[in-house]
Structure 1
Amino acid sequence: MCPARSADPAATLTLCRPARVDDATALRRALAQWAGARGLPAPLVSDVELAAYEALMNAVEHAYAGGTPGDVEIHARQDRESLRVTVTDHGHWQPVRRAGSLHGRGVPLIRLLADRADFHSGTDGTTVTMTWHLPSAGPG
């Protein structure tokens, strides 16, 4: 079940959709639009968008494999020093077995793009938390 929206929409973004490819794409676009509207530098917005999409696609491909897709949630919060994006599913990790596929590159890419990336999987699902340190604004 998707959580209620935040009371402070300017500093946070909380969205929830079914864990399907088209919905992951919509979440990716919404996150990029939100981050851009926050005034973040374009290269950072691109990194955030791609890292979050990799986490979203992991939920699509692994969390509900072989069953009805459940939800995937994305939560983003910006404060003065950092931007934190969390992607959460409530499924159970299932490896995708495709011979000769290009799978297995998402987690290393997330780690490369984010300043910090934490992964937690348990019986209640998987949470990927990505953090970027924001450049401090110089004296005006």
Structure 2
Amino acid sequence: MSGKPLDLVNLTIPAKPDYVGIARLAVSGIANRMGFSYDDIEDLKLAVSEACTNAVDHAYCGGDGEIEVSCNIFSNRLEIEVVDRGNSFNIEEIEKRTGPIEVGPTMNALRERGLGVFLMRSLMDHVDIKGDNGVIVTMTKYIRKGVVESHVESSTSFTNR
């Protein structure tokens, strides 16, 4: 992505489940200030939560560590980096294991198969994952101003009486 960000917000949290909500709240506040829609803010929060939870669950394997969340604020988009310095993984292997979801497995089994990566890619406009001395997840969401949500009726759908 090109251009220089207008602002940069950095947050470092312990790689513990109790702190993932702080990253969600920070991203929510930034996205709200930027003018994202409610639905897009919810998507951003879930994607950030998945990236942070992956770091908590897989990067440090219960040991101590930190997760860095960086929000690069542009006029038309928000780019979020979630970085850990723990165990890396092979994204191609995760994507091969991610297939149709079958009835029966627990959520932990689904998470092991790459459901978090699938969700991040479904919710964001662009996701890039690199594993080198940890994992760097870069996610981008564009602001869609002037776009009417599909579940909202436009004013032209009402008839004048």
TM range (shorter): 0.7 to 0.9
Provide the alpha-carbon RMSD of the alignment: 2.4
2:110 maps to 1:112 = no
Shift of 1:78: 1.9
Q: Which runs of 5+ in 2 are unaligned?
A: 90-104, 148-161
**SS of aligned partner of 1:27:** helix
Structure 1 stretches of at least 4 aligned residues deviating more than 3 Å after TM superposition: none
Q: What is the percent sequence identity of the aligned residues?
A: 32
- Contact 1:60–1:69, Cα closer than 8 Å, also in 2: no
**SS of aligned partner of 1:129:** strand
Which whole-Å CA distance do the structure 2 matches of 1:137 and 1:81 have between them?
Answer: 13
Length-normalised TM-score, structure 2? 0.69
Q: Which runs of 5+ in 1 are unaligned?
A: 1-7
Which whole-Å CA distance do the structure 1 matches of 2:78 and 2:146 have between them?
Answer: 15
Which whole-Å CA distance do the structure 2 matches of 1:32 and 1:80 have between them?
Answer: 17
Which whole-Å CA distance do the structure 2 matches of 1:70 and 1:81 have between them?
Answer: 33
Which whole-Å CA distance do the structure 2 matches of 1:65 and 1:130 have between them?
Answer: 24
Length-normalised TM-score, structure 1? 0.79
Which whole-Å CA distance do the structure 1 matches of 2:57 and 2:139 have between them?
Answer: 19
Looking at secondary structure, tell me which structure has more strand per residue: 1
- In the other structure, the counterpart of 2:32 is 36
Shift of 1:136: 5.3
Which whole-Å CA distance do the structure 2 matches of 1:28 and 1:39 have between them?
Answer: 17
- In the other structure, the counterpart of 2:79 is 84
Paired amino acid for 2:141: W
Which whole-Å CA distance do the structure 1 matches of 2:146 and 2:80 have between them?
Answer: 21
- Contact 1:81–1:136, Cα closer than 8 Å, also in 2: no
Paired amino acid for 2:82: V
- In the other structure, the counterpart of 2:157 is none
- Contact 1:47–1:113, Cα closer than 8 Å, also in 2: yes
- In the other structure, the counterpart of 1:135 is 144
Which whole-Å CA distance do the structure 1 matches of 2:55 and 2:82 have between them?
Answer: 8
Distance 1:18 1:29, change over 3 A: same
* Alignment match of 1:74 (pick from 38, 45, 69): 69
Mean Cα deviation higher: 52-61 or 23-32: 23-32
